[in-house]
Structure 1
Amino acid sequence: MLHGRSLAVPAALILSSPAVAQPENWNDARPLTLTLSSFRFEPADIVLEHGVPYRLHLVNSASGGHDFAAREFLAAARIRPQDAPKIRDGRIALSGGESTDVTLIAPTPGTYRLRCTHFMHSAFGMTGRIVVR
């Protein structure tokens, strides 16, 4: 109290404030399967909606290793905390036949580069783009 006046702030004002972080509802993530194979991503063009949670199911259908390298996209997206360790240096690495899920919220609208960083894989066509609308 300041000179007999209450400084109480109505709870509705606090709860509607943008400064109060709302927890993400990861259970509502839209599933999206992406296949990494010999020198291609399927689909090569991935279209997502800004602010929407997605569960990316990455499947390496090849016998050798590949990665899902999208440094700018992964840096800008909100990643579910337990999935963050799967991302190293802006990429998600998969051994031959391996699959993994990464749940994230699509970042700011734009077009983001996607490629495999393994030797010569991009040169052989293992590239794509992620478009966030």
Structure 2
Amino acid sequence: MKDAIAAFLLLTSSAAGAQQTDWSRAARVDVDLSSFRFRPAILHLKHGQAYTIVFHNSADGGHDFVAKDFFAHAMLAPAARRTVSDGEVELHGGESATISLIAPPSGTYEAHCSHFMHKTMGMTGEIIVE
């Protein structure tokens, strides 16, 4: 029971922190999703810092940015919770999405495109949080 209460308090304080953040001061990071690569392939973030990550799909076909562990541990802004679904951001050809978040604890988080064969063809990346 104590563990459940602690988890609830952490979740509510994290959500409150994300809601009270001045997102206009967040560092902007642009990520391009093109045919079979992310640019940049490695994102360097700082734990606890606010970021606005703008994903651009410059290809004609669809791509996604899947980073389940990263998104699960980051504090997402309220609007971002509607865009990130089950740890992924889905983009149709030519579409963009903006995700505001507070970087999670330090570590290396894997990212990939889950569309058929895209990961195999090199559409992978890392998010390194220091």
- Give the helix-richer structure, 1 or 2: 2
Q: How does 1:15-54 map to 2 (within 5 A)?
A: 23-54=20-51
Within 2, Cα distance between the matches of 1:88 and 1:106? 17
2:101 corresponds to 1:131: no
**Gaps spanning 5+ residues in structure 1: where?**
1-18
TM-score by length of 1: 0.83
Other-structure match for 2:8: none
Other-structure match for 1:61: 58
Give aligned-pair identity as a percent.
46
Give the paired residue count: 114
Root-mean-square deviation (Å): 1.1
2:115 corresponds to 1:118: yes
Other-structure match for 1:108: 105
**Gaps spanning 5+ residues in structure 2: where?**
1-12
| Deviation (angstroms), 1:92 | 0.3
Other-structure match for 1:13: none
| Deviation (angstroms), 1:25 | 2.0
Other-structure match for 1:77: 74
TM-score by length of 2: 0.85
Task: Describe the superposition over 1:71-115 as per-residue Cα deviations: whole angstroms up to 9, x where unpaired.
Answer: 000010000001211011110000000011100010000000000
Q: How does 1:81-100 map to 2 (within 5 A)?
A: 81-100=78-97
What SS does the aligned partner of 1:121 have? coil
Within 2, Cα distance between the matches of 1:61 and 1:71? 23
What SS does the aligned partner of 2:43 have? strand
What SS does the aligned partner of 2:94 have? coil
What SS does the aligned partner of 1:50 have? coil
The higher radius of gyration belongs to 1
Within 2, Cα distance between the matches of 1:83 and 1:129? 20
